[in-house]
């Protein structure tokens, strides 16, 4: 009887589910690798199928491949293209495979003394149509797409060439506030904008007795200890980008305080800027360190902090705007929500999520049309119109910011928008991103945050709590010990750390991580002892 009851419990939902008509086979297929959420996949899937049929008279089936976050996608593409090119190199070209060939074929920066075989492998890959079985890479940060373009895994699409009326300062500028929005050769194009900020739970803030934060620095308030939700910057590109923005803002502050010399003296101006960059790098890292000291955890998923903030497990978190806004929608009652997304004053940039055509795309024509579709005003409406509005999504409010400038010029659309006051191109005093300051150190920044904040998080939190309870002058001395970042200052990151991470021998990176991690743990232990008067 027990067994029969269990079988009945399992079988009953299947027996009672409503019958659905069998789906007719589609004329065409499109395979898309994406990190976008289910809501985006649903709305763009329906929208593109209708648009494609009107455009071509044919039906299409979208095969979404959800591998994980952008780092997971990068690992998949690396492995898939390595396997595909190895087959091409050995079977079709009749050559032997080696570690040298594997390291060279996707390396755009081959050494001057690289062997003829290595150069031949690189040339053969760029001339090939080897693929990974997918057509498009949709969603992620521009850093991820630039990295894939450099490797040669994504290739130029035709959209920039066929729609020049879209790619200009009046519609989609190539650069805005220092961020790149599309590649000149059409390798990748941004189709939606994102900002970074703070996700807060108003009820939790009231419980802690802290006002709503207005700047990144506000989250370093020790009352947030154990209440801040952060993602692991080594696994979440969006979290790493937020930390980079914090550093950029601190560099800007240092330069604003600097005494500028004669503008006609280029050498003197460059020296002032170099000092400001060095000082701002350390000040920004120190703020990141204080935020880490308040962190409850470092999660692998950038979608977890908004959920935990909404549930009250954390009072605040750092994340992308649409994660925060979507979570606010999810818990809203009668038009009011305990969750809010706050953009820090002059402390964020508007970056894009691109789309790109993968090398060897098996359904290239359909892929080209999907790229074109994402940049039509018809598709741009899906990002920020409310469900059920004319031209809006069917089911989900995506709460994202369209990339096209002319979208925001239609005042009559404000009544349909989820965020009618959002105007990324009209922000006052926006933070201007300077790639020369930090863009070349993206990988190194992730490494530094790992050894300084993640690997040694337990010791950092213990020191931070002891410091808050300590009297002066022990408190100041202990804090100074925690925030001694000479081992990861701008010179070290550009020198020894960068060289180690670029080493072909990955054991070097492991050794450096162990050494720096041990050093920071010692620092934090010493700071705790100072704070406790030991």
pLDDT band at 3 (very low <50, low <70, confident <90, very high): confident
Summary count for the chain: helices (H), strands (E): 21, 14
Determine what percent of the chain is predicted with pLDDT higher than 70.
96
d(CA 223, CA 452): 21
Domains of the chain: 70-193+351-424 (3.40.190), 196-348+434-531 (3.40.190.10)
Residue 494, pLDDT above cutoff 60: yes
d(CA 398, CA 416): 13
Reported as a single tens digit per residue, the pLDDT across 414-441 is 999 999 998 999 888 889 999 999 999 9
Residue 480, pLDDT above cutoff 60: yes
- Average pLDDT over the chain, rounded to an integer: 93
Residue 21, pLDDT above cutoff 50: no
Contact 276, 254 (CB under 8 A): yes
Per-residue HEC secondary structure of 221-287 comes to CHHHCCCEEEECCCCCHHHHHHHHHHHHHHHHHHHHHCCCCCCCCHHHHHHHHHHHHHHHHHHHHHH
Q: Render the burial of 60-85: b for 16+ CB within 10 Å, e for the rest.
A: bbbebbebebbbebbebbeebbbebb
More confident: 23 or 472: 472
Reported as a single tens digit per residue, the pLDDT across 116-150 is 999 999 999 999 999 999 999 999 888 899 999 99
pLDDT at 484: 97
Residue 22, pLDDT above cutoff 50: no
What are the respective helix, strand and coil percentages of the chain, to the nearest 5? 55, 15, 35
Give, in degrees to the nearest 5, the angle at Cα 388 between 387 and 389: 95
Using CA atoms, how far residue 380 sits from 265, 281, 322, 375, 391, in Å, is 46, 37, 15, 6, 10
Q: What is the mean pLDDT of residues 335-349?
A: 88
d(CA 279, CA 438): 13
Contact 327, 192 (CB under 8 A): no
Q: What is the mean pLDDT of residues 238-255?
A: 94
**E-strand spans in 41-187?**
60-65, 136-138, 154-155, 175-176, 179-180
Half-sphere exposure of 446 (CA within 13 A, CB side): 18
- The answer for residues whose C-beta is within 8 angstroms of residue 418's C-beta and 6 or more apart is 325, 329, 384, 385, 386, 397, 398, 399
Contact 241, 302 (CB under 8 A): no
Q: Is the pTM of this model over 0.75?
A: yes
- The answer for residues whose C-beta is within 8 angstroms of residue 487's C-beta and 6 or more apart is 516, 519, 520
Give the DSSP per-residue string, 505-528: -HHHHHHHHHHHHHHHHHHHHHHH
211: DSSP letter: P
Q: How far apart are the first and last CA of the chain?
A: 68
Q: Render the burial of 473-504: b for 16+ CB within 10 Å, e for the rest.
A: ebbeebbebbbbbebbbbebbeeebeebbeee
Contact 186, 161 (CB under 8 A): yes
pLDDT at 259: 63
pLDDT at 261: 57
d(CA 324, CA 304): 11
64 has which bridge partners? Answer: 32
Give, in degrees to the nearest 5, the angle at Cα 45 between 194 and 165: 60
pLDDT at 301: 82
Determine what percent of the chain is predicted with pLDDT higher than 90.
79
pLDDT at 8: 73
Contact 316, 291 (CB under 8 A): no
Contact 302, 238 (CB under 8 A): yes
d(CA 341, CA 347): 14
Contact 196, 320 (CB under 8 A): yes
Contact 347, 215 (CB under 8 A): yes
Name the residue with tokens 């994340």: 319
Instruction: Please state, as a whole number, how many other Cβ atoms lie within 10 Å of the Cβ of residue 94.
Output: 7
425: DSSP letter: G
213 torsion bin: left (phi>0), alpha (psi -120 to 50), beta (else): beta
pLDDT at 337: 82
Per-residue HEC secondary structure of 354-375 comes to EEEEECCCCCHHHHHHHHHHHC
Q: What is the mean pLDDT of residues 321-337?
A: 82
pLDDT at 18: 60
């Amino acid at each position: 009887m027990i067994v029969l009851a269990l079988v009945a419990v399992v079988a009953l939902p299947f027996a009672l589910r409503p019958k659905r008509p069998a789906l007719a086979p589609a004329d065409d297929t499109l395979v898309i690798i994406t990190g976008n959420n289910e809501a985006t996949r649903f709305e763009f899937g329906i929208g593109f199928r209708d648009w494609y049929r009107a455009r071509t008279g044919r039906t299409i089936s979208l095969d979404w491949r959800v591998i994980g976050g952008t780092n997971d996608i990068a690992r998949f593409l690396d492995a898939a293209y390595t396997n595909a090119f190895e087959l091409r190199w050995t079977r079709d070209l009749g050559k032997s495979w080696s570690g040298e060939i594997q390291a060279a074929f996707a390396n755009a920066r081959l050494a001057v003394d690289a062997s003829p075989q290595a150069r031949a492998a690189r040339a053969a890959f760029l001339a090939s149509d080897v693929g990974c079985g997918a057509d498009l890479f949709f969603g992620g940060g521009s850093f991820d797409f630039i990295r894939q373009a450099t490797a040669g895994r994504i290739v130029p699409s035709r959209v920039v060439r066929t729609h020049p009326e879209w790619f200009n300062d009046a519609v989609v500028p190539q650069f805005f506030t220092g961020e790149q929005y599309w590649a000149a050769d059409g390798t990748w194009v941004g189709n939606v904008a994102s900002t970074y900020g703070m996700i807060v739970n108003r009820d939790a803030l009231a419980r802690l007795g802290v006002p709503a934060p207005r700047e990144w620095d506000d989250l370093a308030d020790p009352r947030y200890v154990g209440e801040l939700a952060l993602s692991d910057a080594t696994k979440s590109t969006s979290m790493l980008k937020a930390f980079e923005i914090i550093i950029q803002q601190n560099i800007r502050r240092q330069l604003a305080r600097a005494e500028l010399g004669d503008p006609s003296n280029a050498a003197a101006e460059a020296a002032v800027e170099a000092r400001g960059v060095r000082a701002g790098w350390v000040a920004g890292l120190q703020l990141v360190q204080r935020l880490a000291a308040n962190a409850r955890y470092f999660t692998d998923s950038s979608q977890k902090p908004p959920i935990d903030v909404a549930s009250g497990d954390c009072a605040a978190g750092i994340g992308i705007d649409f994660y925060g806004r979507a979570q606010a929608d999810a818990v809203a009652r009668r038009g009011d929500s305990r969750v809010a997304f706050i953009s820090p004053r002059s402390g964020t940039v508007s970056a894009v999520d691109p789309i790109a055509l993968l090398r060897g795309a098996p359904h290239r024509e359909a892929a080209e049309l999907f790229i074109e579709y994402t940049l039509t005003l018809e598709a741009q409406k899906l990002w920020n119109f409310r469900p059920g509005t004319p031209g809006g999504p069917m089911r989900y409010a995506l709460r994202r910011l369209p990339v096209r400038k002319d979208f925001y010029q239609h005042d009559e659309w404000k009544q349909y928008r989820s965020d009618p006051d959002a105007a990324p191109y009209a922000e006052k005093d926006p933070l201007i991103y300077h790639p020369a300051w930090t863009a070349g150190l993206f990988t190194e920044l992730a490494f530094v945050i790992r050894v300084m904040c993640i690997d040694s998080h337990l010791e950092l939190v213990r020191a931070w709590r002891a410091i808050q309870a300590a009297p002066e002058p022990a408190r100041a001395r202990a804090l100074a010990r925690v925030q001694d970042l000479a081992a990861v200052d701008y010179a070290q990151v550009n020198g020894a750390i960068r060289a180690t991470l670029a080493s072909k021998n990955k054991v070097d990176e492991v050794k450096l991580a162990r050494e720096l991690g041990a050093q920071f743990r010692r620092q934090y232990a010493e700071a705790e002892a100072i704070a406790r008067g030991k």
